[in-house]
């Protein structure tokens, strides 16, 4: 074996689509290329040993924000114990501002941007000469019809145990400055018939959990409808063995035809991830995010009230021009719209993103280490930002987990942000931790806080029991048959 493609995924269930694209496009080198995925958190020496077992000539690493530190250590070790192995890096984390990165200094070559064409070309040159002169190779962007689709490379084990990532298009036409996709300036569609054929094959092989990585699934409604029809057809034919499809959508674009299609999906089969990021028009303008807030709110309200789709909506704290009060207003507005989950994200300064232009004017201070989170800006000081970070973590544990569904309204009442912030500050004062809080303990703490707020103890106990205390772990994990294909957390939300 000559070429090894590797990456450290954030979880075992995440099967790397990027590596499979590279493998699918290796041409004649595919026969001597293999794929070896790991999960972050393993011992560096163990990974290095496993990678070197078959004496590869080239190792290509997919480098992302979640694995860059561990991959840097791994590359450093490989270069010590096997200096002749050629290391090629690719992925978003090394596609921009690579000049200042330790991992780039250690590696032999870097492919920036798309690797489908450039990585195999580079491998050919490394293996057969002439030796590539440049260290950094800008990835060619061929027409999507020239790129081999990777889906046949999902193994039966991937299909049985992992989320299958698929993409009907690449790129995004919008320019939100905090997002790497803003650099694309447009979206490119894959040939839809060929793509649907691949989905058909995956479904026939047993795939039921499909996650679309398209940045804006609902831009081209005709395409969206055909993809949704594909899933509706499967659901109608096999109601006892449903599929679950996840799409990222822009919130202010839900024409009637799309709504009609959405309404046909039964519970537990459809999830939308919707980026709101901020409801503040001045902040949106500052970060070049185009969004009709009224339409977006109407659409989210309609989705929560009329459809059975599971909704995961993103907000970002720490954007330039947004203070805590403005963020709180947006948060409360979103809670009022009733999505199942609100992802409370903290702004990250991703390499290459244009948001850097606001650094001086808005006093943006970022952590220089991944994931490059904002630490303070001119409107939110460091201690307050830390409180927001803890809010986000506790929000995940209490609200997004779906484990406190009946208790949550007692916590939030008529001022969700302020009340949850009070709980968050209290939880931190009593635990000094945001991680490794056992569910039993968390339930006890939430109950204690509610009683301190004046709620009658029997009511608190009864509500918590309804959510959690009376249920065995097995019951908590059990899924209603109607939501069989849905991941456990989503099934909990839908069961409420």
Residue 426 φ then ψ, to 5°: -65, -45
Tell me the window of 125-133, 177-185, 258-266, 334-342 that interacts with ligand SF4 (CB under 6 A). 177-185
Residues 16, 166: Cα–Cα separation, whole Å: 10
Neighbours of 164 (CB within 10 A): 17
Question: Does 181 engage in binding with ligand SF4 (CB under 6 A)?
Answer: yes
Question: Does 287 engage in binding with ligand SF4 (CB under 6 A)?
Answer: no
Q: Which is nearer to ligand SF4, 311 or 398 (CB)?
A: 311
Contact between residue 59 and residue 29 where contact means Cβ atoms under 8 Å apart: no
Q: Which is nearer to ligand SF4, 215 or 246 (CB)?
A: 215
Task: Name residues whose C-beta falls within 8 Å of residue 321's C-beta, 6 or more positions apart in sequence.
Answer: 280, 282, 283, 286, 362, 379
Site map (CB under 6 A) of ligand SF4, residues 116-155, x = contact: ----------------------------------------
Distance of CA 38 to the CA centre of its chain: 18
Helices marked H in 39-128? 44-52, 68-81, 102-106, 118-128
Give the CA-trace dihedral at 315, 320, 325, 330, to 10 degrees. Answer: -30
| E runs forming strands in 172-215 | 187-189, 209-212
Tell me the window of 103-111, 175-183, 384-392, 483-491 that interacts with ligand SF4 (CB under 6 A). 175-183
- Closest approach, Cβ 249 to ligand SF4, in A, equals 10
Size, binding site for ligand SF4 by CB under 6 A: 10
Distances (CA, A) of 133 to 59, 95, 122: 18, 18, 11
Question: Does 275 engage in binding with ligand SF4 (CB under 6 A)?
Answer: yes
Distances (CA, A) of 468 to 248, 427, 444, 490: 31, 19, 11, 16
Tell me the window of 52-60, 171-179, 340-348, 420-428 that interacts with ligand SF4 (CB under 6 A). 171-179
Residues 434, 428: Cα–Cα separation, whole Å: 7
- Closest approach, Cβ 320 to ligand SF4, in A, equals 15
Q: Which is nearer to ligand SF4, 172 or 324 (CB)?
A: 172
Q: Which is nearer to ligand SF4, 181 or 483 (CB)?
A: 181
Question: Does 182 engage in binding with ligand SF4 (CB under 6 A)?
Answer: yes
Contact between residue 289 and residue 247 where contact means Cβ atoms under 8 Å apart: no
Tell me the window of 5-13, 64-72, 134-142, 170-178 that interacts with ligand SF4 (CB under 6 A). 170-178
Question: Does 179 engage in binding with ligand SF4 (CB under 6 A)?
Answer: yes
Site map (CB under 6 A) of ligand SF4, residues 237-256, x = contact: -------------x------
Question: Does 349 engage in binding with ligand SF4 (CB under 6 A)?
Answer: no
Q: Which is nearer to ligand SF4, 288 or 419 (CB)?
A: 288
**Identified binder of ligand SF4 from the candidate list 20, 137, 208, 215, rule CB under 6 A:** 215
Tell me the window of 23-31, 96-104, 168-176, 297-305 that interacts with ligand SF4 (CB under 6 A). 168-176
Helices marked H in 271-407? 281-286, 293-306, 324-337, 382-395
Strand partners, 260: none
Q: Which is nearer to ligand SF4, 219 or 405 (CB)?
A: 219
**Identified binder of ligand SF4 from the candidate list 110, 172, 315, 460, rule CB under 6 A:** 172
CA gyration radius, the chain: 24
Spell out a b/e string for 472-493, using b for 16 or more CB atoms within 10 Å of the CB, else e: eeeeeeebeebbbbbbebbbbb
- Closest approach, Cβ 357 to ligand SF4, in A, equals 15
Tell me the window of 172-180, 233-241, 295-303, 352-360 that interacts with ligand SF4 (CB under 6 A). 172-180
Q: What angle, 0 to 180 degrees and rounded to 10, lies between the N-to-C axes of helices 439-452 and 457-464?
A: 150
Binding site for ligand SF4 (CB under 6 A): 172, 174, 176, 179, 181-182, 215-216, 250, 275
């Amino acid at each position: 074996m000559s070429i090894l493609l590797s990456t450290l995924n954030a979880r075992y269930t995440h099967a790397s689509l990027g590596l499979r694209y590279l493998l699918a496009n290796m041409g004649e080198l595919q026969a001597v290329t293999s794929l070896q995925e790991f999960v972050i958190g393993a011992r560096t020496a163990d990974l290095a040993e496993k990678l070197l077992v078959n004496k590869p000539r080239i190792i290509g690493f997919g480098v992302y924000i979640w694995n860059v530190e561990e991959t840097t250590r791994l590359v450093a070790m490989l270069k010590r114990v096997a200096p002749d192995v050629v290391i090629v890096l690719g992925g978003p984390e090394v596609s921009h501002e690579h000049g200042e990165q330790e991992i780039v200094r250690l590696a032999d070559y870097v492919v920036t941007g798309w690797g489908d064409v450039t990585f195999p070309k580079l491998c050919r040159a490394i293996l057969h000469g002439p030796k590539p002169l440049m260290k950094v190779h800008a990835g060619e962007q061929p027409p999507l019809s020239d790129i081999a689709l990777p889906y046949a490379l999902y193994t039966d084990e991937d299909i049985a145990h992992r989320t299958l990532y698929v993409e009907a298009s690449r790129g995004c036409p919008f320019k939100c400055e905090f997002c790497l996709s803003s650099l694309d300036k447009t979206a490119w569609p894959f040939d839809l018939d060929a793509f649907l054929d691949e989905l058909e094959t995956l479904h026939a092989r047993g795939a039921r959990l499909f996650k679309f990585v398209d940045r804006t699934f609902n831009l081209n409604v005709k395409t969206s409808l055909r993809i949704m029809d594909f899933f509706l057809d499967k659901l109608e034919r096999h109601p006892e063995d449903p599929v679950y499809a996840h799409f990222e959508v822009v919130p202010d674009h839900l024409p009637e035809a799309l709504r009609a299609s959405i309404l046909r999906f039964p519970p537990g089969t459809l999830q939308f991830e919707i980026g709101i990021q901020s409801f503040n028009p001045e902040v949106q303008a500052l970060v070049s995010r185009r969004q009709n807030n009224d339409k977006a709110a109407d659409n989210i309200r309609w989705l929560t009230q009329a459809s059975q789709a599971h909704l995961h909506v993103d907000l970002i704290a720490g954007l330039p021009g947004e203070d805590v009060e403005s963020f709180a207003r947006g948060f409360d507005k979103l809670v009022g719209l009733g999505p199942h989950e609100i992802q409370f994200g903290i702004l990250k300064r991703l390499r290459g993103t244009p948001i850097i232009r606001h650094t001086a004017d808005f006093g943006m201070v970022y952590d220089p280490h991944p994931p490059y989170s904002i630490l303070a800006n001119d409107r939110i000081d460091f201690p307050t930002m830390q409180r927001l970070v803890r809010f986000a973590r506790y929000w995940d544990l209490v609200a997004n987990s779906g484990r406190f569904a009946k208790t949550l309204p007692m916590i939030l009442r008529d001022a969700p942000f302020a009340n949850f912030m009070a709980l968050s500050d209290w939880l931190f004062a009593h635990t000094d931790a945001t991680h490794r809080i056992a569910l039993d303990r968390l339930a006890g703490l939430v109950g204690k806080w509610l009683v301190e707020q004046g709620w009658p103890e029997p009511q608190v106990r009864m509500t918590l029991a309804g959510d959690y205390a009376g249920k065995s772990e097995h019951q908590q994990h059990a899924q209603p048959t109607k939501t069989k294909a849905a991941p456990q957390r989503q099934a909990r939300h839908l069961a409420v």
